[in-house]
Structures are given as structure tokens and as C-alpha cells.
Structure 1
Amino acid sequence: MLDFLPSFPAFLLVLVRVTSFFLMMPLFSYRSIPNSHKIGLGFFMAWIMFYTMDIPELEIDANYFMLIIKEALVGLMVGFIAYLMMAAIQIAGGFIDFQMGFAIANVIDPQTGAQSPLTGQYLYTVALLFLLSVNGHHLLLDGIYHSYQFVPIDQLFIPFGNANMAEFVIRAFNSMFIIAFQMSIPVVGSLFLVDVALGIVARTVPQLNVFVVGLPLKIGVSFIVLVVVMSVMMVVVSEAFEATLTTMRGLMELIGGS
């Protein structure tokens, strides 16, 4: 125990990075997981990581408090990038719901406490099951472990003024919307053709109330197209997971200045 005391400040820094990563990371940050379990999981993860890394001995001084802030920011930023790519799935569901007519009926996500579209919540749940089935949560934990190769524990500052970092974050937002567009375009495109057909019917058969016929027709068509293209959507979701890991690595390289 006495041998551990000189390394205790470094262990606290590891604990701060891991727990702050869990605050933003998909699946581990949900409200359904008790806070005591999150803290305990973060503690044991930090304990394991601490004994597998070469960590220098640190003293508790003014620089140490700067290191705490830096570790918290690194964990939050890496976790935010992981959450950002998963949010693309809910955005795709929002695009679909807007065309289906479900945009007015949002639901409260019990995991995050935020409002989310109906189709987006469904696709997000399927994507989470897909993430667990391919051990994607292990890859996310592996990402926070290897973050110390790019951002050392004794690095004092994060280069927020670096133009490359700002450009990289903007590109991450851009890729998120591209993934959302790729997931939603089969359903949205099909519903656009349905709108065109309904417009033609409204002009040729004025006696038909298009508004009464159009809404159930669009809902039925969207469900059929969703069932048909679900496998293709999962391919795009796998690309989103790959983009998540690539973006996390690129962000850590920029933070570390490599």
C-alpha cells in the first residue's frame, strides 16, 4: 500500500479520464445504469489500465490541477465523438419521420431523457444491439485505453487554437450528416415518389381527398421500404462504427500534437 501512494495522483488522473469518457459514451452513459455502477466500472477500468501503462510519478501542485482539467476534457471529447456518430442514426430517423408524418409524435428516450423521433429511436435501438453483437463496446473501451499512446498523462495543454482540430471536428459533423442521409435516402426517396404520385392523382381525380388517402399510404409504404432496406441500413451503421473509431483516433492524434 505504501508503494502505491507515490503513484496515487497519477491513478486519479487515469480515473478522471475514464469516468469522464463514460459520461458521454453511448451505452455506458445511460440513465438506466445506476451511478454507483458507472463509478465502480470506471474505477476498476482505471485500476486495470493503471497497471498496464508506464505512468510517471506526479506531485500535487498547480500543474496537477491543470492536468485534471485536461484529463476531463480529453475523456469528454473522445466520448462526445463516439456519441456523435451514434446520433447520426437518430438524425436519419428524424428525416424519415418528417416524410412519414410522424415528426409531430416524438417520444422520450428513457436512456438519455431527451426527445427523439419514433423511427430514430427504433433504428437507434437496433443499432445498439448491432453494436453489442459485433463487440463494438469493446472497441470503444479499447479506444480510451490507447488514448494514452497519443495524449500522454503528463501533457499539460490541449491545442484548442489549432486550426486542424477545428477543421477535424467540422468534418466529423459533416460525416455524421452524410451517414444520416445515406441511411434515410431509400425511405425518403420512396416517399418523395409517393408524394409525386399523389400530386398527379390530385390533379387527375379532384374528387379524391388526397390528404385522407395520403397519410396512411405514406406510412404503409415507409414501413414496407424499411423492412426491405433494413439490411442495407445495417451496412451503413457498420460504416458509422468504423468512422467512429477512425474519428476518435484522429482526434486523439490532434490533441497529442502528433
Structure 2
Amino acid sequence: MISISSQTLIELVTGFLWPLTRILGVLAIAPPFGNSTIPMRIKLMLGVSVAMVVSPMLPKMPEVDPVSLSGMVITAQQLVIGLAMGFVMRVVFAGIEMAGEIAGMTMGLGFATFFDPQTHGRSSAIAQFLVLTSTLLFVVADGHLAIITAIVESFQKIPVTTDVRQGFAFYRLAVWGEQIFIAGVKLSLPIVAALLITNIALGILTRAAPQLNIFGIGFPITISVGFLVLTLLMPYLTTPIQQLIGSGLSHMSDGGNPRIANQPPPPPKP
């Protein structure tokens, strides 16, 4: 007769529960898994499948009863860490969406908005186009597999412990939020610069020929120039978007901390 002690049962439960909690936190918010169009049942099945494969390879979990106060604190900690890791990738796509918003408003397509199921809000047509293109590029480049790899690596850099002070660097996460504005401005800068030159040319033309109706000819011209520049720019957007996604994956797997290799060496001791 096979007998299983209570301690062994606790180790089996915690060895699966806490990795599953962190994995589900990432899948709940990280693109493309966090899209609201994906059924919750699919996310749960995917999280359970990944946890079943990953949990045997992880370090030993703390010997804490999962229903005790310390166990509940660890469970909440793992959920928060997973949500923070998923938020890192959400920031990347938010920056790309902001680039589309800036480009769309500059082109005069600020009124062309659609319902965004991802954020349950309104998003411009150009922003939706850039986000969908980036998502396709992300999937083609096996970014979804890289997210799972980053989750596995996070258990080595942020192990499951009873120390609540050890976890994701939330200060670095707040600083990482500036990438929304940095990426948005950088990706939309060529379109904004081209439309600025176009508006200057239209202003000079209106000054030279006041009888022209600037509102009648300016609007279609700016839209046409915007689409032309966007078409010419698309092949060159692949590299910065891939670099932005790679930076997000690196930030995600490092637990919000900068890479040790990029840190300056400590000063020599006197």
C-alpha cells in the first residue's frame, strides 16, 4: 500500500500552485495571451500545461503550508510578480499604439476611431494597424515562446521565497513606463516630420495664392502624404519594433532589474 505523508503532499501542491500562479498572472495581461478575445478557459488550460512542464525543473519551493498566512502571502506575491512581468510587454505594445495615435492625429485621421477589445476603449485606425502588424511580427518571431522562456528564467532570478521584500523591481517597472512615450515619439517621428514639411509647403502655397481653399486641398493632401510615408516606412519599422520587443523580453526575464552585464564594475577597494 502506497502511503503519502502530509509534508510530501504539501510539497507537491506548492511545487505546482506557486509556479502556476505566476504563469497565470503573466498570461492574463501579456500580449498576445492577454487579449480579451481569447477565452479564459484557453488561458487557464495553457497556464496549467506550461506549469506542468515547468514545475519539475524549478528549484525546491519553501516548505510552507499553502493555506497558512505565509502561504497565502507567497501566492499573492507570485500573482503580483506575474502581473508585473506581463505589464512589461503590455507597455511595449502601448508604445506602438501611441505611435499610431500620434501619426493618425497628425494626418488628420483622429476622428477615424474603432473599438479596441484589448483596452475596451477607442483607438485610431493607424494605431490598430500598427498594433496588429506588430503582433503578427511578434508571433512570427516566436515572441510568444520567448515569453514562456522568460517566465521560466524568472524563477531562477526571482525564486519563490518567504521573503516578501524579494520580488519584481517595481521602481524599475515604473521607470519602464516611460517607454510608452519614448517609443511612441520615435516610431511616429518620420511621419510627423513629413507632415510638418507638407503643412509648411501648404502654408507657403496659401500665402502665395490666397484664393486657394486650404481646407479643401490641405486635408486630402496630408492624408495622402501620411499614407505614402507610412507605406515607405513599413519595411524600416521592423528593426526598431524588434529591438523594442527584445528590450521588453529582457526587462521581463530580469525581473525589472537592469542586466548585470550592463552594470559598471564596482570601484576597487582602497
User: TM-score scaled to structure 1, two decimals?
Assistant: 0.90
Provide the residue aligned with 2:49 in structure 1. Answer: 44
Deviation at 1:212, TM superposition (A): 1.1
1:216 & 1:11 partners in 2: Cα distance?
A: 59
CA contact (8 A) 2:84 2:173 kept: no
SS in 1 for 2:33: coil
What is the CA deviation profile of residues 172-203 of structure 1, one whole-angstrom value per residue up to 9, with x for unaligned ones? 12333222222111111000001111111111
* Counterpart in the other structure of 2:128: 121
Q: How far apart, CA to CA, are the structure 2 residues paired with 1:158 and 1:74? A: 12
Aligned partner of residue 39 in structure 1, secondary structure: helix
Counterpart in the other structure of 1:232: 236
In the alignment, what sits opposite 2:265?
A: none
- Name which of 9, 19, 22 aligns with 2:24: 19
Question: When the two structures are aligned, how many residues end up with a matched partner?
Answer: 251
Q: 1: CA distance between counterparts of 2:193 and 2:178?
A: 21
Aligned partners of 2:36 and 2:13: how far apart in 1? 30
Instruction: Map 1:171-250 to 2 at 5 A.
Output: 171-250=175-254
Shift of 1:133: 0.9
Aligned match of 1:9 = 14
1:107 correspondence with 2:111: no
> 2:94 maps to which residue?
87
Deviation at 1:98, TM superposition (A): 1.0
Whether the 8 Å CA contact 1:91–1:120 is kept in 2: the answer is yes
1:63, 1:156 within 8 Å by CA — same for their partners in 2?
A: no
> After the TM superposition, which of the residue ranges 63-72 and 172-181 deviates more from structure 2?
172-181
Per-residue Cα deviation, 1:44-103 (whole angstroms, up to 9, x for no partner): 111111111122343232111110110010000000011101111100001101101111
Displacement after TM superposition at 1:170 (Å): 4.2
Task: Find the aligned partners of 1:236 and 1:117 in 2 and give their Cα distance.
Answer: 21
The offset of 1:35, in angstroms, is: 0.9
CA distance, structure 2, for counterparts of residue 87 and residue 253 of structure 1: 21
Query: Residues 104-126 of structure 1: CA distance to partner in whole angstroms, max 9, x if unpaired?
Result: 22211234433212101001101
What are the Cα deviations for residues 147-182 of structure 1, in whole angstroms up to 9, with x where unaligned? 11111112431469x9x752x234312333222222
The structure that is helix-richer by fraction is 1
Question: Which ranges of structure 2 fall in alignment gaps of 5 or more residues?
Answer: 259-270
When residues 218 and 87 of structure 1 are mapped into structure 2, their CA distance, relative to the original with a 3 A threshold, is: same
Instruction: Tell me the amino acid that sits aligned with residue 205 of structure 1.
Output: A
CA distance in 2, matches of 1:112, 1:101: 23
Q: Equivalents in 2 of 1:240, 1:153: separation in Å?
A: 29
**Identity percentage of aligned residues:** 26
Task: State how far apart, in whole Å, the 1-side matches of 2:28 and 2:162 are.
Answer: 22
2:149 alignment partner, one of 134, 139, 142: 142
Q: Which residue of 2 aligns with 1:64?
A: 71
What amino acid sits opposite 1:59 in the alignment?
D
Task: Note closer, same or farther for the CA distance 1:34–1:170 as it changes in structure 2 (3 Å cut).
Answer: closer
Give the SS at the match of 1:92.
helix
Runs of 4+ in 1 over 6 A off after TM superposition: none
Unaligned runs of 5+ in 1: none
- Alignment correspondent of 2:160: 153
Classify the secondary structure of the residue corresponding to 2:159.
coil
Q: Which of the pair has more CA radius of gyration? A: 2
Matched with 2:39 is: 34
Q: Helix, strand or coil: the match of 1:115?
A: strand
Distance 2:40 2:103 in 1: 34
Partner of 2:268: none
125-134 vs 105-114, which moves further: 105-114
Checking the alignment, whether the CA contact within 8 Å between 2:154 and 2:254 is kept in structure 1 is: no
The DSSP-based 3-state class of the residue aligned with 1:251 is coil
Cα distance in structure 1, aligned partners of 2:160 and 2:256:
13
Contact 1:151–1:252 under 8 Å retained in 2: no
Could you tell me the TM-score, scaled by structure 2's length?
0.86
